[in-house]
A and B are shown apart, each in its own frame.
Chain A
Amino acid sequence: MSPDPILQVRDVELRFAGVTALSGVTFDVLPGELFAVIGPNGAGKTSIFNVLSGVYRPQQGSVVFDGHELVGVRPPRIAAMGVARTFQNIELFGNLDLVDNLMLGRHHHLGYGWAAAVAWFGKARNAEVANRRRVEEIVDFLEIEAYRGMPVGMLPYGVQKRIELGRALAMEPRLLLLDEPVAGMNGEETEDMARFILDVRDELGIAMILVEHDMGLVMDLADRVMAMDFGRPLVTGTPTQVQEHPDVVAAYLGLPAKEDA
């Protein structure tokens, strides 16, 4: 008997006017599981993330995280419930330094309001110090000590990707959504990121959904894979099952042309 899933997605349908971005999307994610979503461009992978984090509101279906319905809940509430994500195109706060970016990940852990902030001494300062300690643990975990003081907009791409993972981890999530964490990275950076993802799973035990085009990475890391095409799930299973499924092959490579004449 497998444990109760931490996330249950049922029959999610998302439309933009006449375009159906997602339809009949159903899957479960188990605690501590690394669940991957693959599919050609435009298959709806990032749309799933936007539904899960509350940016899009689906017309139909339900998303239950840890017993709570997420559809209709606003993004900051979902973040506070323990869903963190990274973005396909880096969405760091470019003018702020690394520490501020990670501290922003801990925004809902701060626990003081504007009045305490204006006074600073006492509550605000204590909370800042306590949260800074946690941030430094993540800085240490991701080996980004050297970049602490710089505005992150000036840092190299690979480092920015790592800081984005750090910002998501700073939220202390129970479900982490990784949107193409190794896109545009060279071999060495990809290996580093793969190592961090495995560390997150093994040391922190956080369930993850991974969207990625790097098939080598997906097949090596994922426990289960869901393949999608045109907003519909094609097949869900172990990496080998999915890789060999004829629908998946067709989606990626196309069907053999019909011999007409």
Chain B
Amino acid sequence: MSRSALRNRPLLRTAYTQEMAMLNTPAKRRSVLAIVVLAALLPFVVTDDLLLVLTLGMIAAVGAIGLNLVTGYAGQVSLGHAFFIGLGAYTGAVLGGDPEGPVLGYGLPMWIWLPAAGVVAAVAGLLVGPLAVRLRGLYLAIVTLGLVFLGDHIFREAREITGGPGVGRRGPELTLFGIDFSQDGEVLTRGQLQFLLALVFLVVFAVLARNITRSGVGRAFGAVRDRDVAAAVIGVDLTRTKLLAFSMSSFFAGVSGALYYAVVGVFEPSAFSLLLSVQFLAMVLIGGVATISGSIMGALFIASLGRISGEIAHWLPFISDASGSSGLLSVFQLEAILYGLLIIGFLIFEPRGLFGIWLRVRNYWKGWPFSY
């Protein structure tokens, strides 16, 4: 069939590769292109303080995608994500940190410390994976919870690496292809540079994650999640699949952690507490379980929550801002309350998360003016 005959029938597919394509409808292609272009233009219209929130949100999204691979796709509930994030952050900071600083640093370039952060976390994931082979559900969650406390202790005690609690250390040098992303450049400001860098990394890792989920590996994850005994009997190796899920997830976490704290600058061991794991779970739950786009939406949403509660505090007189001590609630308490409300609200009213809301909106307009 000639291409012209297909021009008016964009949904007619004549090859399996068309259906397997990542963006397999014209609408998806157009909207993703539009979103990426808009995002690339955003740094030129938004102030730098807001850009930083979005930059950190996009980097966190890489980690959220990682958690969604193991928890959303492969169904292995992990509360240990903060540990892998921390492992990546410190690997990056040690390899890429200032050699003359007060803590360990080798001053290696970014193209070494970033992949290394991912690999170290992935290897740790591989070591933890066997736990998941024997445990499932709540029991696995409890065991992975232990990881966070283990990590917390190690990070606190290893002062030569982490600087110890209350002191902390600097992240790695953020320089790639001769561009220093930690200072204002000749054309772009530091915030604009970092935003664009984060956008590129997010797009790359989202594409990699989609490749995983649309291949046999991703199908095996889903099989293990839905019916593990049946999966084994039809030829899916449970041990291998779970190990793969944990190490891939941890790789994403490691990269995300290293990048995140390179942008933040200074960080201390208490950052990698249970709260961080819960934040990542919230990103996955609120964004949408087993969706890549949902992970991104959830991460951006959770990352902006601090900013959002700050804005709310502005309008409500009984909530004090960060500095003041008067008022019924502090802005941090408000943020914590919003967390809880959002997680409970989404679990009850829209378990498919922001992705589910998007599906509803899309289906409404697809069927318009009919209700279905």
A complexed with B? yes
Chain A proximity mask over B210-239: 1 for CB below 8 Å, otherwise 0: 011011111110110111011111111110
Given A55, A76, A91, A112, which contacts B237 in the complex, CB threshold below 8 Å?
A76
Task: Decide if A120 touches B215 in the complex (CB within 8 Å).
Answer: yes
Shortest CB distance B332–A (Å): 37
Q: Are B237 and A96 neighbours in the complex by a CB distance under 8 Å?
A: no
- The bracket for how many chain B residues form the interface is 20 to 34
Classify the interface of chain B: helix, strand, loop or mixed.
Answer: helix
> Given A96-B222, A129-B16 in contact, is the A53-B233 Cβ separation under 8 Å?
yes
Q: With the chains together, A110 CA to B248 CA distance in Å?
A: 20
Chain A residues whose CB sits within 8 angstroms of the CB of B208 once the complex forms:
118
CA of A112 to CA of B21, assembled, Å: 18
Does B17 make an interface contact (CB < 8 A)? Answer: yes
Stretch at the interface among A7-15, A101-109, A186-194, A232-240: A101-109
Given contacts A95-B226, A114-B244, contact A80 B211 (CB under 8 A): no
Q: Does the CB pair B229–A91 fall under 8 Å?
A: yes
Is the pair A87, B230 in contact by a Cβ cutoff of 8 Å? Answer: yes
Whether B1 is near chain A, meaning CB under 8 Å from some CB there, is no
| A119 contacts the other chain (CB 8 A) | yes
CA distance A257 to B216 in the complex (A): 59
User: Chain B residues with Cβ under 8 A from A54's Cβ?
Assistant: 232-233
Residues of chain B lying within 8 A (CB to CB) of residue A57: none
User: How many of chain A's residues touch chain B, expressed as a range?
Assistant: 35 or more
Q: In the complex, are the beta carbons of B217 and A94 less than 8 A apart?
A: no
For A108, the chain B residues whose CB sits under 8 A away are 235
**CB pair B235 A128 closer than 8 Å:** no
Q: Does B20 contact A (CB under 8 A)?
A: yes
Knowing A93-B223, A103-B219, say if A120 contacts B234 (CB, 8 Å). no
- Chain A residue numbers with a CB within 8 Å of B225 are 95
Given contacts A75-B235, A94-B227, A118-B211, 17 further A-B contacts (CB under 8 A): A55-B233, A74-B232, A76-B237, A78-B233, A92-B226, A93-B222, A93-B231, A94-B226, A104-B223, A105-B235, A107-B219, A114-B244, A117-B218, A118-B212, A129-B16, A132-B20, A171-B234
* Chain A interface (Cβ < 8 Å from any Cβ of B): 53-55, 74-76, 78-80, 84-85, 87, 91-96, 100, 103-105, 107-108, 110, 112, 114, 116-120, 124-125, 127-129, 132-133, 167-168, 171
14 chain-A/chain-B pairs, Cβ below 8 angstroms: A74-B232, A75-B235, A79-B232, A79-B234, A79-B235, A84-B234, A85-B233, A93-B226, A94-B227, A95-B222, A95-B290, A110-B216, A124-B216, A129-B17
Residues of B within 8 A of A (CB): 16-17, 20, 208, 211-212, 214-220, 222-223, 225-227, 229-238, 244, 248, 290
